Amino acid sequence: MVSINNIKKYLKEKLSKDRYIHTLNMSELATKIAIYHKIKAIAKIRIASLLHDCEKNSKNGNNHSFLSSKMAKHKFCITDRKILDAIKYHTFGHRNMDIISKIIYISDMSEQSRKFKEAEQIRKLAFKNLDEAMLLAISTKLKYVIQDRKPVSLEGVILYNKLIKTVTGNSNG
């Protein structure tokens, strides 16, 4: 399996200082959430969290999740579908997110350097109920996207509807 130290060395050279700190914070939070929920795939979570923003630089914008997944595959020879999907889905969400993808998404939204007002609540919910945390994370993301008058991701909306049904039992939308 790929070396965590090699990944960190690569990221430290490639990412801005703030982005590198965000990545380390996010990885630490993701690992804590996974341990708390007794998730066995800690190694996958560590790799996905470290590489989730590896292609985030000024030119890539929202496309960076897809590019980071490709980079993880080609540069670090990662073939595990769950790791690659977690990286790919961390910006827009996806209807078929598994527990690894959800932990990556939640940690990315709520690590300690995030300053928007819902971040702390998302982080707290992550240690109670992952679907509740995921629901607050995706609804907060959609809310800010709409407020900024940017297009919403259909996958994000489908995920939101799915989570509403899971969490509240309300299937009427």
Indicate the residue among 57 and 121 with the shorter CB distance to Fe ion: 57
Please tell me the distance from the alpha carbon of residue 46 to that of residue 11, in angstroms, as a whole number. 14
Whichever of 29 and 125 has its CB closer to Fe ion, that residue is: 29
The window from 31-39, 45-53, 76-84, 119-127 that contacts Fe ion (CB under 5 A) reads 45-53
State the minimum distance, in angstroms, from the CB of residue 65 to Fe ion.
6
- Binders of Fe ion among residues 83 to 122 (CB under 5 A) are 108
Give the separation between CA 173 and CA 160, rounded to whole angstroms.
9
Cβ proximity to Fe ion, 30 vs 135, nearer residue: 30
Q: How many CA atoms lie within 13 A of 111 on its CB side?
A: 22
> 20 or 164: whose CB is closer to Fe ion?
20
Structure tokens at 74: 């080609």
Please give the Cα distance from 105 to 79 (Å, whole number). 20
Tokens at residue 150, please?
């940017």
Smallest distance from Fe ion to CB 164, Å: 24
Rounded Cα gap, residues 24 and 26, in angstroms: 5
Please identify, using beta-carbon distances, which residue of 62 and 166 lies nearer to Fe ion: 62
In the complex, the smallest distance separating the C-beta of residue 12 from Fe ion, rounded to whole angstroms, is 16
Q: What is the CA radius of gyration of the chain?
A: 15
Spatial neighbors of 92 by CB under 8 A, at least 6 apart, are 62, 65, 153, 155, 156
Contact between 136 and 121 under an 8 Å Cβ cutoff? The reply is yes
Sign of the torsion angle spanned by Cα atoms 120, 100, 152, 18: positive
Pick out residues in 112-171 that bind Fe ion (CB under 5 A): none
Choose which of 44, 47, 49, 53 interacts with Fe ion (CB under 5 A): 53
What is the smallest separation between the CB atom of 20 and Fe ion, expressed in angstroms? 11
Of 7-15, 53-61, 116-124, 161-169, the window that binds Fe ion (rule: CB under 5 A) is 53-61
Interacting span for Fe ion (CB under 5 A) from 41-49, 52-60, 79-87, 99-107: 52-60
Residues in the site for Fe ion, rule: CB under 5 A?
A: 53, 108
